[in-house]
Amino acid sequence: MSELLDYHFALNSLLETHQPLEGEEEVALARLGGRVLARDILVQHDVPAFDNSAMDGYAISGNECDSWQVVQRIAAGDQAELALLPGQAARIFTGAPIPAGTTAVLIQENVTLDAERKVITHTVSAGEAPNVKDGQNIRRQAEELRRGEPLLARGQRITPAAIGLLSIQGYAHAPCVPQPRVTVFSSGNELVPPGQPLPPGKIYDSNRQMLSAMLQAEGFIVIDGGILPDSLEPTRQALEKAAAESDAILCSGGVSVGEEDHLKNALQQVGELTQWRLAIKPGKPITWGRIGACRVFMLPGNPVSSLVTFRQLALPALQRMAGVSVEQARPWKLMARAGFSRSKVDSRREFLRVVLENSADGFRVKPMAMQGSNMLSGAVFATALAEIPPGTKIEEGIELAVYPLADRF
């Protein structure tokens, strides 16, 4: 466990070993955003439910006729009660049911209506037969969705469009993977909650608020665990209590090699330490394991290290627990060209905070000036993380894998 793992090996391991929570819960449409389906959902009703008009215009019978007598009017929500005979037409509106006998729908802009309420097309010259295609401007029943076919698949993350699709099908609820409950701790005697006086030698706790905000944005249930002291026994007790109430624990700080770093030891006493330290920059001390069924993620205390390791490692694992598929949980990336050069190389895989810009030859990235793992200001205005492989000298124009920060991209 002392070996420094590569980032991609660690990510694959996390995605493989973290599985969706068992069971399911029925969730109302109004609360479905961001949730993940626990099982497949089938089409209940054909879409369209009946043949209907794709345009405002005239439904006609007999494409070869040079005019059609209007005999009825059909609006959306009406029923088409009369069948059309050859040479007849119906004034029709978008979404209205097509009457029996209809061969096509003519767009209202392409026709005129004479004094005898006859429809005459003006898209052809006088004396010529109109060029009307059979079925034009008609939406056929079930051409989009057919009853009994798959609508949404298990593992699908629900977007606003998916909520609309469920609504079209008459679903008021959907079966979802249970929402993971995540307890968030900060660790360190030096930490003071924001809003309180700041004594000498102390700093304000920022990681717990930052991590909680990112978890809430992803739809997790967040439990505030407070600040853990630099003491083994209280830390051990707090972890045990949180494990009994949560599906996951997220801590920051206290996982390095100092004498006052007790989180790792506490986890080993009450649970199982799976991995400690990765060959990444920032974020080398990241640790994970479990206490019974509760998963534990211990992030570095430096704010940028905490942010990077959460987004690139802990969040994908938590998304798997929420039911997201392996591929969907994997951090989204694209390729961009370096808009800078750097001769210095590092033995660890580095994630630079960068600004992603569009240029004539595609996306380019430029690094933020503040790259220290304690410099959160440099991450606030970044729009992506650029991955620098170990031992890589950066020359301007080379391609880099870039992970957009979704809330700013």
Q: What is the DSSP string of 367-404?
A: E-S---TT-THHHHT--EEEEE-TTPPB-TT-EEEEEE
Domain span including residue 362: 334-404
162 and 183 belong to one structural domain: no
Residues 31 and 167 in one domain: yes
Contact 353, 186 (CB under 8 A): no
Question: pLDDT value at position 1?
Answer: 44
**Residue 1 belongs to a domain:** no
Q: How many structural domains is the chain composed of?
A: 4
Percent of the residues in the chain that have a pLDDT greater than 70, as a whole number: 95
Say whether both 340 and 398 belong to one domain.
yes
DSSP state of 272: E
CA-angle at 341, arms to 361 and 408, nearest 5°: 60
CA dihedral defined by 121, 125, 131, 135, rounded to 10 degrees? -10
Tens digits of per-residue pLDDT, 82-139? Answer: 999 999 999 999 999 999 999 999 999 999 988 888 888 766 555 555 689 999 999 9
Residue 281 and residue 197 share a domain:
yes
Q: Is the pTM of this model over 0.75?
A: yes
Please indicate, yes or no, if residue 369 is contained in any of the structural domains: yes
Give me the pLDDT at residue 369, please: 86
Q: Which pLDDT belongs to residue 119?
A: 83
Q: 245 and 284: one domain? A: yes
Query: Within a domain: residue 375?
Result: yes
Regions in the chain scoring below 70 on pLDDT: 1-3, 122-130, 256-261, 406-409
The answer to whether the peptide bond before residue 48 is cis (omega within 30 degrees of 0) is yes
Q: Both 217 and 282 in a single domain? A: yes
Residues 210 and 343 in one domain: no
> Residue 135: what residue type?
G
Q: pLDDT tens for residues 128-164?
A: 556 899 999 999 999 999 999 999 999 999 999 999 9
